[in-house]
Each structure stands twice: as structure tokens, then as C-alpha cells.
């Protein structure tokens, strides 16, 4: 694990460098046109670089990109200071009178704002400018101190793409320039190599070449069909999971893919989650759904018998196929799909057993990381936020703090490094998100462990504790091998399609060689 990852990206040096590079690029672009002709929209840092959206009199070309890069290096050489100024809405509007997109943003700020749960903000947000050289932007920062802190040999403009203002296809389409920026020339070189390598290892390209899966128009988008060669891989993953889960004393179960809506009303997924589900099927006056997750059906199996503390922990596992609705435009190979077969399990345990069970799950992750040679990963503990209680989160502040503390303690006692992130928990409890890095260093979201202290009660789950009293179990949701789709997508890139023998669709090929008999 890299220590650097422990600092949130938004507070890192790289973030400031990229944000500043975006401003520098915007200055260079506006200078290509007559004053006031180039309209600027927004230009944030992103995961590995930055972009800026422009509304321009003509389409930019790749030659423009070269000229812009050259001008950016001049601005960098000028070591111009980034200066912040807090202004009134009137001052801001006067400054940007020729810039309609900025005016729209300023008006939004003027109306105050709401946080993401719909609570009105106590104070109206501050309006501020950042200025360097001749360029001023509406901006909250942060930035480097001066343009000289952007390394002129560690940035590159990547490409030009179309993007709708505010992401809404009813708005005007703008021109977006993507760039990347790093601290050193070597980092840039590594990144460009990684991109090049990722292109060669693209799971969609290799998946087709290796005949691992196919998408078929008549079956539907986001619904992969695993061919015989791809099925070898997923059956090997299942055999691995079976062996590991058997050793860790899981009990496999098998459940239907279709259930009554009642089940998802009880679980709380309906109506809130309905837009992420396939639409209902109406049968004999009852609405049925294809399941978007396995947990509610596992809860029914737990609840189908009277349970004693002697039976616990009960660990129900199933490589269950779930169906979720993603918009066609958001589907991406195996990484963003509508059907996903998940290495799912639900562990029902008492509070006393929680730490051991939770750490056992973490240990399974680490077993898998060893097997697949994943040596870089990040575990992120996602916590609730008090403001979201009763909206985004189950409304029980005391239990949240208690459960979060249980997880924190378990991770600390187990010496597992992690970072904490506020306000990213699941609806029903804190979770650990696991990010892994492929052999070429690209980040993938693998899976999530969730602690669920709320839903078992909704399902009336209970066990008789050693005092002879009814007690509600905790539930841990886990999927260390992720979904087949995501895992195979990752492994194709990780191994560049050259799978280790145990995973390979073709382990041995006999090639007949004919040795010519000696003449005469």
C-alpha cells in the first residue's frame, strides 16, 4: 500500500497542479481568439489529469493542441502567482459580463445552495476568483502558489471531445480538452506507458481476440454471454471461491432470480432503488422483479428456521446472478454491465462474533490478493454523515457510531491499513471499499464489505441467545472476488490475456511436428 493514498486526493499536491494546469490551459485557449470570443465553462481536476470545456467560434484541431501546449509552457515559465479574491455577486457578474456560462454559475451561487441530502445550506457559499497572469476564473481553489510549480515537462494535452453544458444533452455541446499533469517527467512517462499498455490490454479487445465472451444484439446490451473459453475462467474462479469458502466454513445456497416486489419493499430497496432495477413483470396481479441483489433472499433462508446462538455464525454464500439497470450509454464492456454474477455471501453473527467474522473476510481478500499477485490495494472505510441520518442513512446515530467503531477497532486490531472517508457509507451501515491496482498500475474498484445493522430487523431475523432471549443478528455483506464480469475484466488487463495455467482456457496445445526422414 502506498502511503500517499492516505491523503485525500482533493488535498494533495497533484490535485493543485492539475487544477492550476486547467487554468493555464484556459488562458492559452482564450488567447487563440479575439477578446471575449472564447466562452469558458468549467475546468476541474479529474482522476489522472484535468479538463476544461469551451464554447468557441471554430472547432479545435490537433495542431491547436500543440500551439496551446507551447503557450502553456510560456505561461509556466512566467511563474505567475495564483491570487485569490473574495468578491460579491455583482463584482463577479461585472467581471464575467461576456461569459454566459460563468454568469449562470454565479447566479446558482447567489441562490445559495443545498447539500446533497436536500438540506438548505446555513450560509450562502462564498464567491471567489483565482487570477494568474492575465487570466481570472470563478474558482474555489486550491491552486499551486505560482504557475512555475506546474512542471513544464510533466504535462500533456491528450485529446478533444464533445461535452454538453452541465452534462445535459438538451444544452449546447461544448469542446472539452483533456490533459494530464504530474510532478515529474518520469511520472508522465509512466502514465503514458500505462495508457498505451492499457489500450493493448483492453479487456474488450482481448476478450474478443481470446473468444472469452460475446455481446449479442438480440440478447441485449450489457448482458454478456460467456463462451466455452470464458466459462473455463469463471468456473475456475468459482472452484477457487468454493475451496476457500469451504475452508472458512461458508454454506452455499441457491436462490431464484425472480421474486415478488414484496421482498424488495421489505428490504427497503423499493421504491428508492427502483430506477436501478429492471422494470417489473406483472403476474396474477402481483409485481415480480429480477433481483438486483441476493441479500433479501438469503435473509429469507436465514429466517426459514428457528436459529440458536449455537448455530451462529451462519455464512450463506452464492455466486448469484443479479440484474441492474444501467443506461445503454453508460455500459462499458464487462466493467459496467446489466447482468452480474457475484461472489456473494451474507454472514449472520452476534455482536460478540463480529470482529472475528469481519477480519476473516479481510483475510480472504488477502488470500486472493496473494493468489492473483495483487500487491497494491487500498481499503477505504466509508462512514455515515450525521446530516444524512434519516435520508441517505438509517436514522440511528448511536448504532452508526457503535458499528463504525467496531469496524475501526477490527481493522486496527488486525493491523490492516485503511483510510476513512466521511459520508460514503451504505444505507444500512458502514462499509469497506476495496480498490485494487492491476499489473500496470491502473485502479479498479473490486468490491465492498458492508456491515448491516438495520435490515435484519426489517426481516424480523433473530436467534435465541445463550440467555434464552431473542436477539437480532448483525449481517456482513461481502464479495471478495467481486462479480465474474468485473473480475475477469480486471484479470484480462492484469495478465494482458496471458492467464496463469490454472485459469487459462487453453493450458496445453499439442502441435504435430513432422520430422523429415533423412534422405537416402
Nearest distance from C-beta of residue 251 to a copy of itself, angstroms: 4
178: contact with a copy of itself by CB under 8 A: no
> Which grid coordinates are listed for 279?
422494470
Residue of 278, 331, 385, 472 that binds a copy of itself (CB under 8 A): 278
Give 381 or 488: the residue with its C-beta nearer to a copy of itself: 488
Q: Give me Rg for the CA atoms of the chain.
A: 27
Residue of 101, 323, 377, 490 that binds a copy of itself (CB under 8 A): 323
* Number of other residues whose CB lies within 10 A of the CB of residue 339: 20
Give 43 or 473: the residue with its C-beta nearer to a copy of itself: 473
Sites for a copy of itself among residues 208-227 (CB under 8 A): 211, 214, 216-220, 223-227
Give the three-class secondary structure for 12.
coil
Residue of 126, 168, 284, 330 that binds a copy of itself (CB under 8 A): 284
H or E element, residue 269 = none
DSSP state of 368: H
Nearest to 495 by CA among 117, 177, 206, 92: 206
Give 22 or 263: the residue with its C-beta nearer to a copy of itself: 263
449: contact with a copy of itself by CB under 8 A: no
**CA–CA gap between residue 362 and residue 448 (Å, rounded):** 11
Give 273 or 325: the residue with its C-beta nearer to a copy of itself: 325
Nearest distance from C-beta of residue 487 to a copy of itself, angstroms: 13
Write the interaction track for a copy of itself spanning residues 385-424; mark x where CB under 8 A is met and - where it is not.
----------------------------------------
Using the contact rule CB under 8 A, the part of the chain among 41-49, 92-100, 143-151, 295-303 near a copy of itself is 295-303
How far CA 116 is from CA of 322, 346, 392, 423, in Å, comes to: 28, 30, 9, 10
Nearest to 461 by CA among 264, 267, 302, 253: 302
- Strand ordering across the sheet containing 463-464: 307-308, 463-464, 470-471
310: contact with a copy of itself by CB under 8 A: no
268: contact with a copy of itself by CB under 8 A: no
> Which grid coordinates are listed for 175?
469542446
> Phi, psi (5° rounding) for residue 321?
-90, 125
CB 300 within 8 A of CB 459: yes
Q: Which residues bind a copy of itself (CB under 8 A)?
A: 211, 214, 216-220, 223-228, 230-232, 234-235, 251-260, 262-263, 266, 278-284, 286, 288, 290, 297, 300-301, 304-305, 316, 321, 323, 325, 328, 338-339, 341, 484
Amino acid at each position: 500500500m502506498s502511503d500517499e493514498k492516505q491523503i485525500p486526493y482533493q488535498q494533495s499536491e497533484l490535485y493543485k497542479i492539475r487544477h492550476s494546469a486547467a487554468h493555464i490551459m484556459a488562458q492559452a485557449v482564450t488567447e487563440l481568439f479575439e477578446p471575449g470570443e472564447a466562452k469558458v465553462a468549467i475546468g476541474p481536476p479529474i482522476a489522472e489529469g484535468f479538463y476544461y470545456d469551451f464554447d468557441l467560434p471554430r472547432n479545435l484541431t490537433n495542431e491547436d493542441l500543440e500551439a496551446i501546449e507551447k503557450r502553456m509552457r510560456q505561461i509556466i515559465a512566467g511563474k505567475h502567482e495564483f491570487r485569490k479574491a473574495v468578491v460579491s455577486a455583482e463584482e463577479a457578474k461585472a467581471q464575467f459580463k461576456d461569459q454566459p456560462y460563468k454568469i449562470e454559475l454565479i447566479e446558482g451561487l447567489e441562490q445559495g445552495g443545498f447539500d446533497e441530502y436536500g438540506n438548505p445550506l446555513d450560509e450562502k457559499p462564498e464567491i471567489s476568483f483565482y487570477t494568474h497572469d492575465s487570466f481570472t476564473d470563478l474558482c474555489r481553489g486550491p491552486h499551486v502558489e505560482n504557475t512555475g510549480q506546474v512542471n513544464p515537462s510533466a504535462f500533456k494535452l491528450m485529446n478533444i471531445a464533445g461535452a454538453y453544458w452541465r452534462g445535459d444533452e438538451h444544452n449546447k455541446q461544448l469542446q472539452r480538452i483533456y490533459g494530464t499533469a504530474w510532478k515529474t517527467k518520469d511520472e508522465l512517462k509512466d502514465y503514458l506507458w500505462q495508457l498505451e499498455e492499457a489500450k493493448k490490454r483492453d479487456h474488450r479487445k482481448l476478450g474478443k481476440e481470446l473468444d472469452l465472451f460475446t455481446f449479442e444484439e438480440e440478447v441485449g446490451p450489457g448482458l454478456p454471454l460467456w463462451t466455452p473459453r470464458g466459462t473455463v475462467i469463471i468456473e475456475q474462479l468459482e472452484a477457487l471461491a468454493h475451496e476457500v469458502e469451504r475452508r472458512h466454513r461458508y454454506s452455499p445456497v441457491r436462490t431464484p432470480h425472480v421474486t415478488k416486489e414484496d421482498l424488495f419493499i421489505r428490504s427497503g430497496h423499493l421504491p428508492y432503488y427502483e430506477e436501478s432495477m429492471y422494470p417489473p413483470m406483472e403476474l396474477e396481479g402481483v409485481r415480480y422483479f429480477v433481483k438486483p441483489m441476493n441479500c433479501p433472499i438469503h435473509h429469507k433462508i436465514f429466517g426459514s428456521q428457528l436459529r440458536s446462538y449455537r448455530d451462529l455464525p451462519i455464512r450463506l454464500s452464492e455466486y448469484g446472478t443479479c440484474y441492474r439497470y444501467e443506461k445503454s450509454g453508460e455500459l462499458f464492456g464487462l466493467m459496467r454491465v446489466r447482468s452480474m454474477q457475484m461472489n456473494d455471501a451474507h454472514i449472520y453473527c452476534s455482536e460478540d462474533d463480529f470482529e472475528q467474522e469481519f477480519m476473516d473476510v479481510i483475510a480472504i481478500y488477502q488470500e486472493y490478493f496473494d493468489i492473483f499477485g495483487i500487491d497494491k490495494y487500498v481499503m477505504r472505510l466509508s462512514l455515515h454523515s450525521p446530516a444524512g441520518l434519516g435520508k441517505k442513512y438509517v436514522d440511528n446515530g448511536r448504532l452508526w457510531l457503535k458499528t463504525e467503531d467496531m469496524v475501526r477497532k477490527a481493522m486496527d486490531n488486525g493491523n490492516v491499513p485503511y483510510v476513512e472517508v466521511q459520508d460514503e457509507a451504505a444505507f444500512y451501515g458502514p462499509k469497506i471499499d476495496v480498490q485494487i491496482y492491476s499489473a500496470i498500475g491502473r485502479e479498479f474498484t473490486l468490491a465492498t464489505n458492508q456491515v448491516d445493522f438495520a435490515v435484519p430487523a426489517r426481516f424480523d431475523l433473530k436467534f435465541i441467545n445463550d440467555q434464552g432471549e431473542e436477539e437480532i443478528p448483525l449481517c456482513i455483506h461481502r464479495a471478495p472476488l467481486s462479480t465474474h464480469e468485473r473480475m475477469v475484466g480486471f484479470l484480462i488487463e492484469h495478465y494482458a490475456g496471458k492467464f496463469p495455467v490454472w485459469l487459462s482456457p487453453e493450458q496445453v496445445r499439442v502441435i504435430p511436428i513432422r520430422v523429415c526422414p533423412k534422405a537416402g
